[in-house]
Amino acid sequence: MAKDKHNANIKKEWTISVLDSDNYGEIERICKALGSQIRLNLIKQLTYKPMTVVELAKLNKVTNSTILFHLDLLTAADVVESRYLPGIKGKAQVFFTNFNKIAFSRVADEKDRTMFFRQEIPVGDYIDVKGANFGFATSTQSYLFTDSEAYSQPRREALLLWTPCGKVTYAVDNKFCLGGNTVEEIGFSMEICSETSFYRNDWKSDITFAINGMDIATYTSPGDFGGIRGRLNPDWWANENSQYGTLVNVTVTSTGTAINNTAVSKVNLRDLRLDKDNRLTLTVYNKQGSKHLGGFNIFGRGFGNHEQDIVFTAKYTAAQTENKQKTLIT
């Protein structure tokens, strides 16, 4: 009988996530291997000393074929291994355990804890407006109002909002940054352009975006676009009006802020204090003192060229829960 030098081999320690479907086949094999009193006895016996089939059969008072059946299941689960080693009567097949710990985890691997949040915000679903003049259009008609009248109109049906000098704020659910989650990136996109009477393709506007009251970036719109109909505009919308915008994507990470993948400011996620309240605010406005105070149009689903409302997104790593791991066998 060979000495138990195999126990000196490096043995595995498994922590298997039950949240990862790629692991289900392995989990099934392990559970099947451990689901028998005799197989648990074999694991215990082989932990202390590698043995042959004959030795195990004698120790457990069963036939060789019975031991082979159970060893096949343990081997299939990669819980037990065997090698042919020199013995008194030539080479003998010796079995031994090859692990130090097997554990199941209720938490996925780090890559599997990456989560994504998305919220679509209709252009009329604002929580605050400031400025002398606003307008919006639904699928059937347009409305003009002052900020004091902003909530008396059918604003939730709005598909296009415009102002030559105003400020509009939207609310965003911030559940993605609560509970110990780690936010890696936030972003939003909207179809937007400048605003003046009718349209002027060279009417520039410096449009500032703010999160939680902090300015993060300013986008200079080249003009209030017209002359070519927006592909989504309803038939009743006049040709001499603003027709479409540019789809602007703003992202904020731990290193700064970018517009359409071009870095524009050093404002980062930490600066924004995302979890300070039970919601985030997203504000669009012309900042006083800017070179181009040219207003803005925000195109929602059903106007312009892009079939979307304001879209807010976040990428984050979900927090690990307590009592994540239970060791099954060591």
DSSP state at residue 200: B
- β-sheet bridge partners, residue 316: 115, 183
Q: What is the pLDDT of residue 323?
A: 40
Q: What is the pLDDT of residue 329?
A: 47
**Domain boundary assignment for the chain:** 5-108, 110-317
pLDDT in tens, 150-172: 887 789 899 999 999 999 999 99
- Total-model pTM: 0.67
Do the first three CATH levels of 5-108 and 110-317 match, i.e. the same topology?
no
* Cβ atoms within 10 Å of 146's Cβ, excluding its own: 12
Q: What is the pLDDT of residue 8?
A: 39
Alpha-carbon distance of 303 to 268, in angstroms, equals 32
Alpha-carbon distance of 49 to 193, in angstroms, equals 77
For domain 5-108, is the CATH number 1.10.10.10?
A: yes
Q: What is the pLDDT of residue 108?
A: 55
207 three-state secondary structure = strand
Amino acid at 119: Q
Q: What is the pLDDT of residue 13?
A: 61
Alpha-carbon distance of 10 to 13, in angstroms, equals 10
Neighbour-count burial of 250, counting CB atoms closer than 10 A to its CB (0-12 exposed, 13-18 middle, 19+ buried): buried
Average pLDDT, the chain: 88
SS (H, E, C) 106-171: CCCCHHHHEEEEEEEECCCCCCEEECCCEEEECCCCEEEECHHHCCCCCHHHCCEEEECCCEEEEE
Given a cut of 50, the residues of the chain with pLDDT beneath it are: 1-10, 322-330
The dihedral region occupied by 108, where left means phi > 0, alpha psi between -120 and 50, and beta the remainder, is beta
* Cβ atoms within 10 Å of 261's Cβ, excluding its own: 7
Query: The domain 110-317 is classified under which CATH number: 3.50.50.60, 2.60.120.260, 3.40.720.10, 3.40.1390.10?
Result: 2.60.120.260
Backbone dihedral angles phi then psi of residue 311, each to the nearest 5 degrees: -120, 120
Q: What is the pLDDT of residue 140?
A: 96
